[in-house]
Chain A
C-alpha cells in the first residue's frame, strides 16, 4: 500500500504520464526507437527521485514498443524493431479496412502480454535469470539461428527465399570492424562503415522507402487517403476475438517473457518466435499473412512481454536483456542503485516500486494507446501523396538523427532500392532485417565457440540446451516438409 501511495503521488505520476505520451510519439515515429526514447529520458530524469525516473523510463519504453505497431499497421513501417512481426497481418488487416480493429487487438494484447510478463518478472525472476546464465556461445549461436529460421518460415511465400534473405542480412552485418580481431571488412575506406551498416536507416529504407516507391508506381491512388476506412476502435468489440484466442495470447506472452529474459534476444526476437509458434500450432496456418487476427495477437502479446522479460536479468543480475535495459542499468547506477541480487535486500522499496509501476503502466497503456491510434489515424486521412512525402521526409531525418550522419541517408536509400527489388521478386524483407540484427551475435558466438573448442563442432551438439535448440531449428526448417511427406506416404499406404 505504501508503495502504491509513493508511485501515485503527483511528483511521480505527472512525469510518468508525460513520458508515456512521449513514448507513443517516439515509438510511432520511424527512426525514433524505444531505445532512443529511453536514452533521451535518462538525462531528464537525473534531477528526479529514482522512483520517478524509473516510472518515466518504464512508462516510455512499454508505450514505445506498442506505438511502433501503429505505423507498422497503417503504413507497413515498423516504428521500432519489435514491431516488424506485427506488419505481416496488421498491415493486411488495414488493407481490408480493419486497421482500427487490428490496432485495438494489438493494444489490448500488448497490455495483457505486458501484464503477464510483469507477473512472471515478479514471480520467477531469479529462476529464469539463473537459467539464462547457463547459456554459452553454442547456445547463443543456435538461439540466433533459431530466431532467423523462424522469421524465414513465417514470412509469406517461399521459405527458401526467406532463408536467402536472412543470409543476405547476415552477410551485410559482416561489414565493419571484425568483432574478434578488429580487422576492417568490406568498408572500402569509409569511416562511417567501421561500426557496420546502420540498422535503423536500413530498416527505414527497407520498409518505408520501398513502400513509397511501390505506391509511387500507381498514379490512380495518389490523391486517395492512405487509410480509407480504418474501422472503429472498440475495446469491448475486440474482447471476444481475444477470448477466442486466449491460448495464443497466454502462450505468446510466456514465450515473449522467456525470450526477452535471454540476454541479447529482446522484444523483436520474442515477437518473431511467438508469431512462428502461433502459425505452426494454428488450425488455420494458411490465414497467417493475409490479415489473420491470430497473426496480430501473437507478436503483439509477445513484444511487451519480451520487454518485461528483459528486466529479469537486468534487475536480478545487472545483466541487461536488450539495448533498452542496458540503458536502464546505466540509469539505475546513475541514481545510486546497484542492480543485482543485493538490490532486493538493500532497497526493497525500489524493487516494489518498479513492480508496481510496471503493472500500472500496462493499464495506463490502454488510454495512452487509444490516444496514439486516434492521433496517428487522423494524420493518415491526408491524401496518399502527402503522406508519402511526410514519410520520405521523416525517413530521411530519422535516418540522419541517430548518428547525425548524412551517410545514413544514403544507406536508407540503398536499402529502399534493395527492398523495392526484393518485393518485386517475392523475397520476404523481415528475415533480411533480422539477419542484420542477429548476424553479429551468430558470428561472434560461432567463432568464439570454435576458438574455445579448437575448431571442434561437436560441443555445439552435445551440450543439452544446445542440442535442444539445434533440434528446434531442425524441426522449424524441415518439420513441415517431413510431416507432409509422412502424411502423403500414410495416405498412399
Chain B
C-alpha cells in the first residue's frame, strides 16, 4: 500500500475533529416544538461527526495494516517523526511554503497599515525573490500586477482596496 494512503496523522486529525465537534454540538440547544423533540441545530453536525469518527477508525485500521506490511523496513514511529522533522528543517521547499504562508498572513495587517499598492508590491517582490527570480524582474512583475489589480478591482469593480499613503499621491 502507498504510504500516502496510510497515514497516522489523518485518523488522529479526523478523530480529534469529530470529538471536538461532538462536544461543541452537545452545547447547542435542542429543538422542541409542541413538546416534540425535532432535529435541531446539533442534529446535522452530530451525524457528520459520528461518520467522521467511523472514518477515523477505518483510516487507523488501514494505517495499522500498512505498518504490519512494512514492519522491519523502518525504525520506530518516533524515529520516523524525528527524521521527517529534520528533513522539513533542512528542506528549501518546506521553508518556501513557510515563507509564502507567513507573508500571506502578514499581507492583511500590512495592507491595512500602508495600503494595497505598497503592501502588494512588497509581497510580490519578496516572494518572487524567494522563488529564485532576479530582483529586477521581481520588481517589474509585482509593480505591473499591482497596478492592474488596483485599476481593475479598485476602479472598474469599485472594490474598496485600501490605497494607504498612495491615496495622497493620487
* A interface residues with partner B (beta carbon < 8 Å): 32, 40, 158, 160, 163-164, 167-168, 170-171, 174, 178, 180-181, 183, 185-186, 209, 212-213, 216-219, 222-223, 382-383, 385-386, 388-390, 392-394, 396-397, 400-401, 404, 406, 409-410, 413, 416-417, 420, 424-427, 443, 446-447, 450-451, 454-455
Chain B's interface: helix, strand, loop or mixed, by majority? helix
Whether B4 contacts A447 by the Cβ 8 Å rule is: no
15 contacts between A and B (CB under 8 A): A160-B55, A180-B41, A186-B21, A216-B93, A217-B96, A219-B96, A219-B132, A223-B132, A382-B141, A392-B104, A397-B153, A404-B159, A406-B112, A417-B101, A425-B4
Whether A164 contacts B39 by the Cβ 8 Å rule is: no
Shortest C-beta distance, A66 to chain B (Å), equals 20
Whether A388 contacts B131 by the Cβ 8 Å rule is: yes
Q: A171-B21, A401-B157, A451-B33 are in contact. Are A181 and B48 (CB under 8 A)?
A: no
Which chain A residues lie closer than 8 Å to B168 at the CB level?
A: none
Which chain B residues lie closer than 8 Å to A390 at the CB level?
A: 141, 145
Size bin of chain B's contact surface: 35 or more
Which chain B residues lie closer than 8 Å to A396 at the CB level?
A: 104, 107, 120
Q: Is B19 an interface residue (CB 8 A)?
A: no
Q: Is B115 an interface residue (CB 8 A)?
A: no
Q: Is B135 an interface residue (CB 8 A)?
A: no
Q: Is B160 an interface residue (CB 8 A)?
A: yes
Which chain B residues lie closer than 8 Å to A450 at the CB level?
A: 38-39
Q: A383-B133, A392-B100 are in contact. Are A410 and B105 (CB under 8 A)?
A: yes
Whether A389 contacts B4 by the Cβ 8 Å rule is: no
Whether B48 contacts A386 by the Cβ 8 Å rule is: no
Whether A386 contacts B137 by the Cβ 8 Å rule is: yes
Chain A's interface: helix, strand, loop or mixed, by majority? helix
* B interface residues with partner A (beta carbon < 8 Å): 2, 4-5, 7, 9-10, 14, 17, 21, 24, 28-29, 31, 33, 36-41, 43-45, 48-49, 51-52, 55, 58, 91-94, 96-97, 100-101, 104-105, 107-108, 111-112, 116, 120, 123-124, 127-128, 131-133, 137, 141-142, 145-146, 149, 153, 157, 159-161
Which chain B residues lie closer than 8 Å to A178 at the CB level?
A: 40-41
Shortest C-beta distance, B4 to chain A (Å), equals 5
